[in-house]
Amino acid sequence: MLPELKDLNTLREALSNAPGPDGNALQGAAERNGQLTKPPGALGRLEDLAIWYASWRGDARPQISAPQVIVFAGNHGVTAQGVSAFPPEVTVQMVMNFEHGGAAINQLAKAAGATMNVHALDLDRPTADFTAGPAMSEEELLEALRVGWTAVDHNADLLVVGEMGIGNTTPAAAIACALFGGDAADWTGRGTGVDDAGLANKTRVVAEGIALHGGSGDGLEILRRLGGREIAAMAGAIAAARALRIPVILDGFICSAAAACLANKSEGALDHTVAGHQSAEGAHAAVLAKLGKEPLLSLGLRLGEGSGGALAINILKSAVACHSGMATFAEAGVSDG
């Protein structure tokens, strides 16, 4: 059972005390992998993925039958500074599209056999412009974290979290810069397609945010000052999944920035996660490198919504299906070379 998220310290304690992988399941899965009807290592990374998944589910021969995709949506006050090629109204419109099943993520979740849930967080009340002050109060941050914390289905056996929020590559870039250092330009990309002038403006905005808030505290405090409600909700869901031993497939740049806020707070906080893909947003590869995550896919995606993570569900399903469904040499009556 998850504890009630009464305050930020509850989340910090949950991260610090979160359970690790099941050692017996890890050993059993590794032993089974060595007995399957294939040459050692012939399935490459699929073998490692299956063993990793088994260890978090506490089952040496697991199945994936109940994946969940959650999309969180939020609006950002910083968009008033012209950091996006699209207006904030698109966030509301896209949420309606999700709810009517018309977006890419709806199709990808369906193809992966995943349930999909959408949570819109106060879209009529954008966060504050982080160049003028903190994006959220502590209570606003806590409310957003709670949405993610309680959105995870306890019966799910795999989780993907995605987002929708016009302008949200800007706070994600600011979070990455604050957590990992370097210049604003190192972390700021074109998002949904701003031109050169737009990129320069966006980089300026990120730099101003870092000048005001950089070095202000741990990952959760950086999230409060520079993030957004949907980014916080993703962090809350990823943290809840850790407490529930539900493996997570990370999506793109913005989801990775949310995850980085947890990793900054607690070593090993992301051990239950894999990176679904490397997006076309320039700094995503750098964030994944900082997190020590090798992406499963690299297809030039830059959509968000959880699309890359949902696409990777079938890779993990395939890894687990081979691991749990293949016969051993003894079962198949095949000579073990």
Q: Are 171 and 205 in contact, with CB atoms under 8 Å apart?
A: no
Residue 139 annotated in active site? no
Strand ranges for 136-290 from DSSP E: 158-164, 248-250, 273-275
Q: Judge residue 308's burial from the number of C-beta atoms within 10 Å of its C-beta, 0-12 exposed, 13-18 middle, 19 or more buried.
A: buried
Q: Cα–Cα distance between 336 and 78 in angstroms, integer? A: 62
Q: Cβ(110)–Cβ(159) under 8 Å?
A: no
Q: How many Å apart are CA 110 and CA 130, to the nearest integer?
A: 37
Q: Six-digit token pair at 195?
A: 């031109």
| Residue 160 β-bridge partners | 69, 249
Per-residue b/e over 108-122, b at no fewer than 16 CB within 10 Å? bbeebebebebbbbe
**Looking at 47, 163, 230, 305, which residue is catalytic?**
305
**What dihedral angle (degrees, nearest 10) is formed by the CA atoms of 89, 95, 101, 102?**
20
Distance in angstroms (rounded) separating the CA atoms of residues 6 and 306: 28
Question: Catalytic residue positions?
Answer: 305
